[in-house]
Structure 1
Amino acid sequence: MDRLAVDGLVTEYAVAVDDGDWATYRRLFTADGRADYRGAGGIEGDAGQVADWLAASLAPFAMRQHLIVNRRVRFEILEQDTGDTARVQADYVNPMRLADRDSGSTAPDLVCGGRYAFGLLRTQDGWRLREVVVEEKWRRLPERRAAPVLG
């Protein structure tokens, strides 16, 4: 059951980011929870600071589809109790489309991928994120087409 709950929390994280649901994003973390997006060109800070930064950074993108895959879950020991903490390492692929793009196109303007490291803690309210670290491994921007030659 814990494995399912931890997996569900990681999915809730991805959906909150994709939907821009920053209140839910904040609630997924422990009171002292932190996120580190420096490995993807972002910031490190508490969940509230990072939620504000994500909201501003992702605002230009009308479509975000965070796919978190290859999840490896490990339960750890906290104060002699096995299973109250967990680590999840997972890969991601994230296509995004700009809001001001021609409405006839559904293709993403940017696609990136990398790896997450999640640290989780079992609380009275269930599993919560204590730490999220993002390491972007690659990024693809759309190919630029050459301007037509006139003349």
Structure 2
Amino acid sequence: MTQRVELATLRDRLAVDELISEYAVAVDDGDWEAYRGLFAPGGRADYRSAGGTEGDAGTVAVWLAESMRAFSVRQHLIVNRRVRFGVLEQDVGDTADVRADYVNPMRLAAGEGAGAPDFVSGGRYAFGLVRTDDGWRLRQVVIEEKWRRTPERTAPAGVG
């Protein structure tokens, strides 16, 4: 591998990592316009394993906005990111698959119970990315919830 290829790959890895971080921040901050902007045209998300929905980025953003109202504090910690670059139309490096684990602590909104107990879940994300004229964008997000800890009362279904 030449130095030029190594530098381009490093630059792509940093851009992919930034996109995943932007995803977490958009969800945590409830910035649904930014969330939609992270997706390539036709991009989709699947939150069904966490009790949620599946669909295009706009549809899922509407669902997330409604579901996340139950929580005053959200913090997606996305770690152990494994990036693999793929081939699109014969060009190496124009797609990427990222597998990353997550822990997602959230605090129920005020008035939702004594002491606003925590809701915490964990699992794995599968992100499919594509290089576009606007940089790296999500073509697919699939969440695989593996566990959840809820307060004594039942937390709202479909959060993740």
TM superposition score normalised by structure 1: 0.90
| Partners of 2:14 and 2:96 in 1: CA distance | 12
Where in structure 2 are the equivalents of 1:98-109 lying within 5 Å? Answer: 98-101=108-111, 108-109=117-118
1:73 aligns with 2:83: yes
TM superposition shift of 1:101? 4.5
Q: Which residue of 1 aligns with 2:4?
A: none
**Residue 113 of structure 1 is aligned with which of 119, 122, 127?**
122
Aligned length: 143
1:125 aligns with 2:113: no
| Partners of 2:100 and 2:117 in 1: CA distance | 22
| Partners of 1:111 and 1:19 in 2: CA distance | 17
Higher helix fraction (1 or 2): 2
Matched-pair contact (CA < 8 Å) for 1:95–1:108: no
Per the alignment, in what secondary structure is the counterpart of residue 42 of structure 1?
Answer: coil
TM superposition score normalised by structure 2: 0.85
Matched-pair contact (CA < 8 Å) for 1:61–1:97: yes
Higher strand fraction (1 or 2): 1
Q: Which runs of 5+ in 2 are unaligned?
A: 1-10, 154-160
Q: Which consecutive segments of 4 or more residues in structure 1 shift more than 2 A?
A: none
Q: Which has the larger radius of gyration?
A: 1
Q: What percent identity do the matched residue pairs reach? A: 74
| Partners of 2:92 and 2:149 in 1: CA distance | 41
1:45 aligns with 2:50: no
Where in structure 2 are the equivalents of 1:1-151 lying within 5 Å? Answer: 1-101=11-111, 108-143=117-152
| Partners of 2:117 and 2:65 in 1: CA distance | 19
What amino acid sits opposite 1:10 in the alignment?
Answer: I
TM superposition shift of 1:142? 2.6
RMSD between aligned residues: 1.7
